[in-house]
Amino acid sequence: MYLRPIFLAIFVILISSDSLRSQSPECVDRPPSKFHKSQRIKINIVSVEFRGENSLSDTERSQIVESIQRSNVSVSATEPDTYWANGLGRVANRSLHAQGHVADRTKVTPYLVSAEPSQRSYAVSIEIETGPQLRVGTLQVVEATAFTPAELLKQVPLSPGEAFDGDKISRGIESMQRLYGAKGYIDMTAGYSMGPHQTQSLLTDVSVQVVEGTQYRVGTVQILGLGARTENLVKSILQPGQIFDSQSFTDFLNENRNLLPVDASDNDITMRRNLDDGTLEIALDFRRCPGEKIPFPPVNVSVPIWDKSQFMALSDRWFRVSD
């Protein structure tokens, strides 16, 4: 006789608990939590002095000083000076490489000038042993078919006769990849090699080799977690059968970020390559409820995840970090 009210009370508590769980805020889109960051100490470089003998011109020295003073350096309270000083040495080396110097050695020694709780000021001395200064002899692109070598060479901000700069070639390759991505070649890779010039020892011949890969078209498209209007906008640039334009897709995502969840990222997008027919199975899943994300790979994919020759989503990047 007394057990029934107790049973009903327990039953009500269970129902209430389930009801509360169904209203859990876990399923609500919200900005990612901000983690507490330990305070960093800013490093100011107030002066740069060159020590020892080297063959650098005044212009080259000025460029090194500018690159060092432009560096944004911050450290923890317990980090030794040698850590960030070695980093400034690498900055100086990049400046030297941009001027064609190779096989150089740089040592940076810091001297504390003043210290405050949030920043420290240093004078630094630099000792540099420079190697020979190389210039570009010939510059060519090989193994390219989707674009002409002349079209691709326009992407490299470097010409024969100029000081060799590996960073400029790398930027040129990145620009080439954007061109190829706009034509569906999203797996295009390239690298460069250097060789001695036939007549002059301080010239180097540069060859950029392109591996184009497969040209992909849009296959199936799954979109979850977006409103109808935004979903239709996304589908308008992902028409099945069309060549997949990765540049337009990337631009769309970044230009319309206000229509996406605040924490939208590359992790919400998966693409599975079908090498047999050159199509992409694309899944955009912006849902935030636990357990609802599309399995990885997407649910309509029959190829096992360990088939690395067809599934390479980890190499895909769609959101620009600077945004």
What would the pLDDT profile of 51-107 be if each residue is shown by its tens digit? 887 778 888 889 889 989 888 899 988 888 888 999 998 888 888 877 787 766 788
Query: What local confidence, expressed as pLDDT, does residue 295 receive?
Result: 57
Residue 254 near residue 323, CB atoms below 8 Å: yes
Q: Assign 220 a pLDDT band (cuts: 50, 70, 90).
A: very high
| Residues 6 or more apart in contact with residue 200 via CB below 8 angstroms | 137
Map out the domains of the chain with their CATH numbers: 41-129 (3.10.20), 135-211 (3.10.20.310), 217-315 (no CATH)
Tell which wins on pLDDT, 52 or 179.
179
Query: What local confidence, expressed as pLDDT, does residue 298 receive?
Result: 45
> pLDDT > 90: what percent of the chain?
45
Whether residue 17 has pLDDT greater than 80: no
**Mean pLDDT of the 216-232 span:** 94
CA distances from 73 to 84, 122, 185 (A): 7, 12, 38
The lowest-confidence range among 74-83, 195-204, 221-230, 300-309 is: 300-309
The span from the CA of 11 to the CA of 278, in Å, is 57
| Residues 6 or more apart in contact with residue 223 via CB below 8 angstroms | 231, 234, 235, 284
Whether residue 20 has pLDDT greater than 80: no
The pLDDT tens digits of the residues spanning 267-303 come to 899 999 999 999 999 999 998 875 666 555 444 444 3
Q: Name the average pLDDT for the chain.
A: 80
Identify residue 288 by its one-letter amino acid code: R
Predicted TM-score (pTM) of the model is 0.66
The span from the CA of 109 to the CA of 123, in Å, is 9
